Structure 1
Amino acid sequence: MKNAEAVTFGGSGLDRAAELRGDIPALADAMQSSDSRVIILWRGKPLVQGTEDLVLARLPMTHPILAETDEAPVFLGRENGSHVFAHDISGYEPEGLDQESLDAFLDPTEQSHPTLDDDQRFAELRGIMTRLSARDAELAATAKAIRGWHETHGFCSKCGARSEIHMAGWQRICPACGGHHFPRTDPVVIMLITHGNRCLLGRSPGWPEGMYSCLAGFLEPGETMEAAVRREVYEEAGIRVGQVRYLASQPWPFPASLMIGAHGEALDDEINIDPNEIEDAVWVTREEVADAYAGLREGLLPARKGAIAHFLLQNWLADRLE
């Protein structure tokens, strides 16, 4: 696909400046610089500002909200010559939290902090991802994924001792056994499966009513992308798949996946779902998908805008998969 990097969270060309991650003096200088900025997360939600023009907030390293942090920041890279870091303040407890909404598939609530401006708040990334610029989306996704890894990998997987942050947040080292641990990214295949003028869509339990998307699943050890596509489609929907080809990829920080978009050609069309895998699967024509995008088809909601499934389906409708 010629426009493969137009997918959300990808293609902004962020300078990650990996050569600075082990340069302690340079990082110390950067943290003291008035030009450096920090991105703040609260329970995985990035701090944003604005109303119509929504932007990822970049605060000075001296901002009083940083009193809520208890770990060193993660270095994300350079932006227009300035260094950008990420901090997490998940220990902060705003008043009147709605725990049910926080646990929802798409949390609609927003939180603030007494030290922030009136138009600054923490918002669920799924809900705002298409309103951010490519650069803001990449920074937010990177910060969310790397901070999420630290939250769940604080102990050494070799000996169980608490590990320590190194390399500006891009490595953890165990002081007990010397084990080195690196950020985890889980590869996931997501498949546009076609049979003539139709594509195969499925839905998982707990999704919003009527929402359907491309089938997807995690790659297994020792498995190629093509084999994973064929296995997952057969396991979930009972459909055999022939030719498979790569289309595009998308970093997906929910919590830390790389979505590998592929096109597969179905060899048959008789659906036999595994209810332990998915709730339903259907064949949908191009015209029906187009109607769903236009809001003209009752009972069929297209994949969420910003997700790679939406991107793949749009390009299929426009005949731009080549």
Structure 2
Amino acid sequence: MTPAPRFAFVEDALERADHLRDQDDALRTLWRNGRVLRVDAEGRTCVDAQGLLDAPTGMTLGELPDEAVFLGLRGDEAWFALDIGEGAPGPVSAPFEARPASEGRIDLRSAATHWPAFDATAFAQARAVLHWRRRHRFCGACGGALRPTRGGWQGHCDACGLDHYPRTDPAVIVAVTDGERLLLGRQASWPARRYSTLAGFVEPGETLEQTVAREVMEESGVRVRTSRYLGSQPWPFPSSLMLGFVADAEPDPPQAADELEDARWFTRDEVGAALRGETKDEGLLLSPSVSISRWLIEAWHAGVAVAE
């Protein structure tokens, strides 16, 4: 049986309330008492003196800016996102500019480790959509400037009439086993001894299962026989959707390639010791608990089967 997901950015998600995105008057009304997540150019948001989310109400920031993104509803309370970074598209209202900065700012990975699930999930949504807005200011067909519509979830080109929507890049991430061992790899930029499950982006015209086999072969030289989907996680670094698999593979000797510095098989005992935190000073270190990678490793160690 697959363990219940415990990774970040999934629990307590907002109701997207798509039906409100075209209702400008309703959004202006919701803005006044709604909460506003402010995200800077580095993808950080504002925190209070205790390091918790500082999301003021819209009325303290002035009128609803055209650049604000309507994230959704939590009960009757609306949540919005606003880009406060240098070079943010469009003007920011004077009341907002006059408001002093919060005591500090926090990045999403740190927030996910310490914050309640709702706050971290809302921050992840805000970071992802604002990243898209920052990098898609002009039409890819004619070069015209894009005007935000539908509560910030669409960019309309007045020059050629095309509409543009937020981009999400699907990627597979996979716990590969030969029946007895788990295949993990590491990048050179990671902390010493840190290993994780293999991952890679889906290419056009490719099924998810084909991506699993191709990426594992490209990165490690190990041949996958079969694979099974287990779960997914939005991963806004900057705009991925991680699709988690467990795969059965040949016991080939790994040969790290592509962006990996090393790839190797680990025994169940080695993985178990790392999961229990017994290898902090030496031995294997695993992905942090905020990621679906850690959950996939836990699922394999718990005995989840490739085929059920």
**If the TM-score is normalised by the length of the shorter chain, which range does it land in?**
0.7 to 0.9
Tell me the residue number matched to 2:136: 153
Question: Is residue 213–residue 302 contact of structure 1 (8 Å, CA) maintained in 2?
Answer: yes
Question: Is residue 191–residue 229 contact of structure 1 (8 Å, CA) maintained in 2?
Answer: yes
Question: Is residue 54–residue 102 contact of structure 2 (8 Å, CA) maintained in 1?
Answer: no
User: What residue ranges of structure 1 are gaps of 5+ in the alignment?
Assistant: 93-112
Distance 1:202 1:232 in 2: 12
Match of 2:67 among 58, 72, 88: 72
Q: Which moved more, 1:129-138 or 1:158-167?
A: 129-138
Map residues 283-322 of structure 1 onto 2, 5 A cutoff. 283-293=265-275, 294-296=277-279, 298-319=282-303
Tell me the residue number matched to 1:38: 36
Match of 1:115 among 100, 104, 126: 100
Map residues 1-322 of structure 1 onto 2, 5 A cutoff. 4-31=4-31, 33=32, 35-43=33-41, 44-49=43-48, 51=50, 55-63=52-60, 72-91=67-86, 115-116=100-101, 118=103, 121-274=104-257, 276-293=258-275, 294-296=277-279, 298-319=282-303
Offset from partner CA, 1:171-208 (integer Å, 9 cap, x none): 00111111110000000100000112210000123122
Question: Is residue 4–residue 248 contact of structure 1 (8 Å, CA) maintained in 2?
Answer: no
Deviation at 1:234, TM superposition (A): 0.4
Question: Is residue 189–residue 228 contact of structure 1 (8 Å, CA) maintained in 2?
Answer: yes
Q: 1:50 to 1:8 in 2, by over 3 A?
A: farther
Question: Is residue 9–residue 233 contact of structure 2 (8 Å, CA) maintained in 1?
Answer: yes
TM-score if structure 1 supplies the norm length?
A: 0.84
Distance 2:302 2:54 in 1: 35
User: What residue ranges of structure 2 are gaps of 5+ in the alignment?
Assistant: 88-97
Q: Which moved more, 1:200-209 or 1:172-181?
A: 200-209
Distance 1:319 1:46 in 2: 39
Cα RMSD, aligned residues only: 2.4
User: Aligned letter for 1:63?
Assistant: T
Distance 1:132 1:8 in 2: 10
Deviation at 1:302, TM superposition (A): 0.7
Question: Is residue 4–residue 249 contact of structure 1 (8 Å, CA) maintained in 2?
Answer: no
User: Aligned letter for 1:156?
Assistant: C
Q: Which moved more, 1:250-259 or 1:158-167?
A: 158-167
Name the SS of the counterpart of 1:62 in structure 2.
helix
Name the SS of the counterpart of 2:59 in structure 1.
coil
Tell me the residue number matched to 1:110: none
Distance 2:6 2:278 in 1: 24
Distance 2:230 2:131 in 1: 28
Percent of pairs with identical residues:
40
Distance 1:149 1:57 in 2: 23
Distance 1:300 1:317 in 2: 14
User: Aligned letter for 2:56?
Assistant: L
Q: 1:170 to 1:178 in 2, by over 3 A?
A: same
Question: Is residue 17–residue 73 contact of structure 2 (8 Å, CA) maintained in 1?
Answer: yes
Deviation at 1:145, TM superposition (A): 0.1
Distance 2:229 2:243 in 1: 7
Question: Is residue 189–residue 262 contact of structure 1 (8 Å, CA) maintained in 2?
Answer: yes
